[in-house]
Structure 1
Amino acid sequence: MRIPVPLNALRAFEAASRHLSIKGAAEELGVTPSAVSHQIRSLEDTLGVELLRRVGAGLQMTEAGRQLAPSLNQGFQRIAEGVAQMRDQRQSGPLRLNMLPAFATNWLSPRLHRYPFEREGFSLDISTTQDDVDLAAGAADAGIWYGTGQWPGLNAELLFEAQIDLYAKPGFATGSHAERVARIQSANLFISRHCLNWRQWLHNLPGGPVEPGMITTVDSGGLTLQAAADGVGVTIAVCELAHSAVRAERLESVFNNPVNDGAGFYLVYPDGLREDRRLELLRKWLHSQV
């Protein structure tokens, strides 16, 4: 519904009607008294009626002003209550944290038994998406994202730089270096679209470069790790995400040749959360786990 008069003018009159003072309204709104007077005159001109009249040092509402004021008082009160409720939910509810599914499954999940959920301020609401969400629009409070640390309008704190390596099902990495290269040349290489420098890894492999028999690109790093563990193919993946599968002996490094991917995992958040206690508690815990 379109309001046919400027909202600032209605706000100025509503504040002045409660204070019956231009100065009091100006102090509440954080503007000058002349700005309040100008807005009220603009509203009166638009409506074609006088709303407030000076009486001595104060103000007195006209009949038209008395008719308009209650609706505005109620409307702005409801707006204030709605904003306060939203602010309280954002500041006191669980911290809504967004991340890649592969990070949640392969890095965060193995560590969650150490997370102090029972302590006040540590509640989390975790969501996973393949693409970054709009934190500024409130899709989440913060994120643990993979990239180079450049997200316009957001703060990004490096948790750890990522390395990548080639992984396969245990038993694949047998024989000489040349024999393993030959085996890769007939294998299906699964690659996540989030892995930035996998071609550079192939080209710079000592004794290489090596070209796989087939390349399959997917949107999930978790799927590439699972495909390799199932013996469907091999994968170049982030070492920190493959670590839990290596420890469980579901994967092994084919050449033990980790290299920097030129990216990392970052704690990302809007400036409005800079002083948020929940974010600070999460930050300290994350750094203790890196």
Structure 2
Amino acid sequence: MRIPVPLNALRAFEAAARHLSIKEAALELAVTPSAVSHQLRTLEDMLGVTLLRRAGTGLELTPAGQRLAPGLHQGLTLIAEAVAGVREERREGPLRVNMLPTFATNWLSPRLSLYPFERRGFSLDISTTQEDVDLAAGVADAGIWYGGGQWPGLEADLLFEATIDLYGRPGFASGARRARIERVSRANLFVSRHCLTWRRWMDSLPGGPFEPAMVTRVDSGGLTLQAAADGAGVSIAVCELAESAVRLGRLESVFKHPVKAGVGFWLVYPKALSEDRRLDNLRGWLREQVGDGAGH
């Protein structure tokens, strides 16, 4: 259904008609009185009628305003009730959490057996994308994102600061240090485009920096770890995401030279969700896992 006038103008008129005050309508709508007046003029111009007029120190409805106000109030009330119902339903449903596939596979998945899914308020709906999604648009409720902690309009709680190191398949790190440097210098280095500080590691290596024979950039940190484990080359990767593969004997650090990445993993959410019980439950569990190291 197409409404032939701006919805904001209708909201401004409905609030002003209910309060019979521009100032009170502005306070309710969290805008300036001049903005309400502008919306009212726009509505009256589009309808070709006067809806409100001055009466002493206040306002009064014209006959046209009296005809419009009740139906408009009822309609906006129904919209508000419908939105509130959906919002309440979302609060009772699973918390929708978005994250990088690499984080989900290499950090979260090894710990999911410890997550209390059966407890009320702990239900999750997990999605993975290579890019941060628009939480304000309702694509997800919260995210576990990699970065510096600054996302406009969103709250961000640090889970852990990331470190990076160089990994290869078992046996790649054997031999003297100089031999390993020469071996790495002939290898294909796989790096994720999300790992923006990988050259920091190369420049900080004692005996370095070195230049690998080739650098292959991919869009997934998980692919860099898999390539290294399969013997396709070596990978500069986040240590906290590689720890599961190291523990399983699929990867090992070539030089055992972890370097701070300058970024971290954050629990990110809209401010309106800050008191949500489901978010608080997840945040508490994540912090327990971070505090326990590997979580096993």
TM-score of the superposition, structure 2-length normalised? 0.81
State the partner residue of 2:112: 112
**Unpaired runs of 5+ in structure 1?**
17-21
**CA distance in 2 between partners of 1:50 and 1:163 (Å):** 63
What is the alpha-carbon distance in structure 2 between the residues aligned to residue 199 and residue 186 of structure 1?
17
* Of 76-85 and 277-286, the range deviating more from structure 2: 76-85
Return the alpha-carbon distance in structure 1 between the equivalents of residues 256 and 96 of structure 2: 37
* Rounded Cα–Cα distance in structure 2 between residues aligned with 1:74 and 1:212: 69
2:84 counterpart residue number: 84
Shift in CA distance, 4/209, structure 1 to aligned 2, threshold 3 Å: closer
- Judge conservation of contact 2:17–2:52 (CA < 8 Å) in 1: no
Tell me the equivalent position of 2:103. Answer: 103
Other-structure match for 1:196: 196
Percent identical: 63
The 3-state SS of whatever aligns with 2:135 is coil
| Aligned residue type for 1:175 | G
Contact persistence 2:164–2:259 (CA under 8 A) = yes
In structure 2, the CA distance between the partners of 1:50 and 1:275, relative to structure 1 (3 Å rule), is closer
Alpha-carbon spacing, 1:60–1:178, altered in 2? closer, same or farther (3 Å): closer
Shift of 1:266: 0.9
The answer for the alignment partner of 1:4 in structure 2 is 5
The alignment partner of 1:175 has SS state of coil
What is the alpha-carbon distance in structure 1 between the residues aligned to residue 102 and residue 246 of structure 2? 15
Higher Cα radius of gyration: 1
Question: Match for 1:266: what amino acid?
Answer: W
Give the conservation status (yes or no) of the 8 Å contact 1:189–1:235.
Answer: yes
- The equivalences for 1:49-198 within 5 A come to 68=68, 71-198=71-198
Contact 1:96 1:126 in 2 (8 A): yes
Q: Is the 8 A contact 1:14 1:72 kept in 2?
A: no
Is there any run of 5+ residues in structure 2 with no aligned partner, and where? 291-296
Indicate conservation of the 8 Å contact 1:188/1:213, yes or no: yes
Task: Return the alpha-carbon distance in structure 1 between the equivalents of residues 208 and 44 of structure 2.
Answer: 80
CA distance in 1: counterparts of 2:136 and 2:287, whole angstroms: 24
Aligned to 2:294: none
Distance, in Å, in 2 between the alignment partners of 1:185 and 1:68 is 77
Contact 1:95 1:125 in 2 (8 A): yes
- Partner residue, 1:279: 279
Worse-matched range after superposition: 75-84 or 245-254? 75-84
Deviation at 1:192, TM superposition (A): 0.3
Aligned equivalents of 2:61, 2:51: Cα separation in 1: 11
Relative to 1, partners in 2 of residues 1:49 and 1:170: Cα closer, same or farther, differing over 3 Å? closer
Residue 163 (structure 1) shift: 0.8
Question: Structure 1's 50 and 89: CA in aligned 2 closer, same or farther, altered over 3 A?
Answer: closer
Whether the aligned pair in 2 keeps the contact of 1:162 and 1:265 (CA below 8 Å) is: yes
1:229 paired with 2:232, answer: no
Indicate the RMSD between aligned Cα atoms, in angstroms. 3.2
1:172 and 1:270 map into 2 onto residues whose CA distance is 45
Q: In the aligned structure 1, how far is the partner of 2:61 from the partner of 2:257?
A: 81
Equivalent pairs counted in the alignment come to: 275
Whether the 8 Å CA contact 1:196–1:262 is kept in 2: the answer is no
Quote the Cα distance in structure 2 between the aligned partners of 1:167 and 1:178. Answer: 16
Distance 1:44 1:246 in 2: 69
SS of the residue corresponding to residue 84 of structure 1 reads helix
The secondary structure found in structure 1 opposite 2:86 is: helix
